[in-house]
Amino acid sequence: METAVKFGLIGRNISYSFSKKYFEQKFQKLLLNNYSYEIFDSENLDNIQKLLKTDGLIGLNVTIPYKEKIIPFLDELSDEAKEIGAINCISIKNGKTKGYNTDAFGFEKTLLLHKKEHQKTAIILGNGGAAKAVQFILKKNNIPYITVSRTTKINYENLNIEQVKDHLIIIQCTPVGTFPNVEDCLKFPFEGITENHLIIDLIYNPEYSKFIKNCAKKGAKTANGLYMLEQQAEKAWEIWNS
């Protein structure tokens, strides 16, 4: 009898998870019949130490709202995860846990696939774990940015049309507009959006968020979070199997 090898996703309100289906299809394709992927939908991290010691568990994905909160429970972090201050992937080897940030890898792939020469500066909407990975990649690629959140100096109330016109890359990193709340949308001066803009919304469910639809109406080039998600999942798989 082959020993069971377990993976999973921890987050809150994550029944719609992409990861479970993605990895289960991978296991089928690779004929890994003893591999399974579970959803750990948790209201808090009270049981995290017990979860990390689950028999056979060798890898976890981490999503909203635990990408930063889970760090104190881990034994170590990769260099990138340390710098970013958020993780979305945990590898468990010989009882030791290590946190990685594969969001950064996935976002960079998406950005470089779509970015044009004239798009030189960015606005990041949101300041959570996903936004931190985006900030890291923009710095790495020498793209100046401003961060807009509820608590930053420039916020959703005072961000203006001119600022939007001046920054031709807009990255939406909040969960606002995610299924099932598909009619929700951030307060944003869409009048500043032009056909010169690149809009990346990290939401993948729905395929086209209200935010993306509003920007597409202005002629902007838009991309959702699906490619990023696939790329970060592949990177996680590589880490778990290295």
Positions marked active-site: 67
Cis peptide before 180 (omega within 30 of 0): yes
Measure the CA angle with vertex 80, ends 146 and 137; round to 5°.
35
CA distances, 32 to each of 28, 58, 111, 131 (Å): 6, 14, 33, 34
Structure tokens at 95: 């009882």
- CB neighbours (10 Å) of residue 23? 24
For residues 7 and 58, the answer to whether their CB atoms sit within 8 Å is yes
Q: Give the whole-angstrom CA distance, residue 18 versus residue 226.
A: 9
For residues 187 and 156, the answer to whether their CB atoms sit within 8 Å is yes
Q: Which amino acid would we find at residue 132?
A: K
End-to-end CA distance of the chain: 24
Cross-strand pairs, 39: 9
φ, ψ for residue 87, nearest 5 deg? -130, 160
Residue that is written with structure tokens 């170590």 in the block? 76
